[in-house]
Amino acid sequence: MHGSCKCFHHVCAKVLVALAWISAIAFLWTSWRLTLVWNLDSTEWFYHVVVFILLAFSTKFCGCCMKMMGGKMMHGGMSCPACEGKGGEHTHGDHQHM
């Protein structure tokens, strides 16, 4: 997901993904067996899965993830041809090449 980065929010993202998996397994178990797990039915487990997945997805928009991507996602997802080595002028002015 985030390589070997040990940032606090990447650790949180890994925990959220683990919770999403546990919730998904509990959802499948409660819907197949028509039973409760920790006093929650399948509908409530489904809500937990959705919330954990959305929270985990939102953790990927951070500064260290953008650095690891090599500056390919800049200004709304558009890339700069000069940064990719294709020539041309910079479409942004927030960094310099060495």
**Quick check: helix, strand or coil at residue 68?**
helix
63-92 residue pLDDT tens: 666 555 554 444 444 455 556 566 665 555
What's the Rg (C-alpha) of the chain? 20
Distances from the Cα of 13 to the Cα of 1, 3, 29, 52, 71, angstroms: 9, 12, 24, 9, 22
29-69 residue pLDDT tens: 999 998 899 999 999 999 999 999 999 888 877 666 655 55
94 within 8 A of 41, measured Cβ to Cβ: no
The whole-angstrom separation of Cα 85 and Cα 98 is 13
